[in-house]
A = this chain, B = another copy of it.
Amino acid sequence: MPIPTIEWIGDADGRARIVEQTLLPGELKFVDLATIEEVWDAIKRLAIRGAPAIGVAAAFGVVLGLKGSRAASPAQFDADVRRAADYLASSRPTAVNLFWALERMRRCAAAVRALPLREARQALLEEARTILAEDRRICRALGEVGAPLVPDGHSVLTHCNAGGLATADYGTALAVLFRARELGRTFRVFVDETRPLLQGARLTAWELQQAGIPATLICDSAAGLVMRDRDVRAIFVGADRIARNGDAANKIGTYSVSVLARAHGIPFYVVAPASTFDLSLADGSAIPIEERDPREVTAGFGRRTAPEGIDVFNPAFDVTPSSHIAAIVTEKGLIEQPDAARVRAVLLG
């Protein structure tokens, strides 16, 4: 079983418990988040990260946000819910699962607003737990849908971490690899270290090692050489937001990987739950891209490695055009050569 990236302890007065991912792989430590502010902070500083896991965390965050509520009317309850959701929405801009989960919590709140406060809060906790349980099932479904794409006896490459630590279960892109392994396929995974925060080196390498899947860590810049010389037959990555034409935002560097894959004739797969799609956006150009602290680049490891005063461009994500994507693996099935019609057909059909 994967380690529980996030879970809820207790009743509606309880707390969320997460893996403190900034300490991995050196230390596997669980921390409790007892307030909405602690959830916001944990999302912001990537103590919990990965689009699906951020969604679950935000849902629990709403429950925590109502812990101190003294709402005496449905209108006051609405206001408390809105305040909590708006606050959590300001933590990170790109992963749409965050907004999707908050929207579900808002809808749940609207349905229970007339109940006594204690019951309404309990209903919100149940909704958050349902989101978590659904994410578990979705991870498994992604694994089933994607596993046949893993080339038996060859190598694959992945970027960032789309594993168990990014979800409530065993991941999105990595779920495909874990499932293929369970089905007896043998393969090696080249893992981009994924600067600046090294989620590949710290998290993906660790998860694959735990699962007994042969893995080789590389610098991001070695991906081209590895694709040319090391028998890489497929690329698997996650996504943080997918527009309705299939353009997919994911960790910075994913776009470069997609260009390299295309140049080497290697199929590039995006693995993501339906909740990652933002059907309100026609294409990827409208996806907001978070820019993060320059110090992630200039002093990412506690030691300054660039001159003071240097200008830095540190986007957390980039957008891969759907034309570079061989297929999007969703829990509802495979969207091959994605475009608006095929996305709609699989998600809504």
Identical copies of this chain, number: 2
Q: Which residues of B contact A214 (CB under 8 A)?
A: 311
Residue A298 contacts which of B201, B220, B303 (CB distance < 8 angstroms)? Answer: B201
Interface residues on A, range: 35 or more
Residue A256 contacts which of B196, B230, B256, B315 (CB distance < 8 angstroms)? Answer: B256
- Are the CB atoms of A301 and B301 closer together than 8 Å? yes
A129 and B312 CA atoms in complex are apart in Å by: 39
Given A222-B253, A256-B223, also A305-B209 (CB < 8 A): no
In the assembled complex, A288 has its CB within 8 A of some CB on chain B:
no
Residue of B nearest to A194 (CB): B221
- Are the CB atoms of B193 and A193 closer together than 8 Å? no
- Are the CB atoms of B303 and A201 closer together than 8 Å? no
In the assembled complex, A310 has its CB within 8 A of some CB on chain B:
yes
In the assembled complex, A110 has its CB within 8 A of some CB on chain B:
no
In the assembled complex, A309 has its CB within 8 A of some CB on chain B:
yes
Interface residues of A in 290-340 (CB under 8 A from B): 297-298, 300-307, 309-315, 318
Residue A228 contacts which of B252, B255, B302 (CB distance < 8 angstroms)? Answer: B255
- Are the CB atoms of A252 and B306 closer together than 8 Å? no
Q: Which residues of B contact A115 (CB under 8 A)?
A: none
Q: Which residues of B contact A310 (CB under 8 A)?
A: 201, 205-206, 209, 215-217
In the assembled complex, A111 has its CB within 8 A of some CB on chain B:
no
Residue of B nearest to A26 (CB): B304
- Are the CB atoms of B307 and A206 closer together than 8 Å? yes
In the assembled complex, A259 has its CB within 8 A of some CB on chain B:
yes
Distance in Å from the Cβ of A286 to the closest Cβ of chain B? 14
Given A218-B313, A224-B255, A313-B217, also A300-B301 (CB < 8 A): yes
Q: Which residues of B contact A194 (CB under 8 A)?
A: 221
Q: Which residues of B contact A196 (CB under 8 A)?
A: 219
| Other 6 A-B pairs with CB < 8 A, given A259-B259, A263-B263 | A198-B306, A202-B305, A222-B314, A225-B256, A301-B302, A302-B302
Residues of chain A having any CB pair with chain B under 8 Å: 25-26, 159, 190, 192-196, 198, 201-202, 205-206, 209, 214-226, 228, 230, 252-253, 255-257, 259-260, 262-263, 297-298, 300-307, 309-315, 318
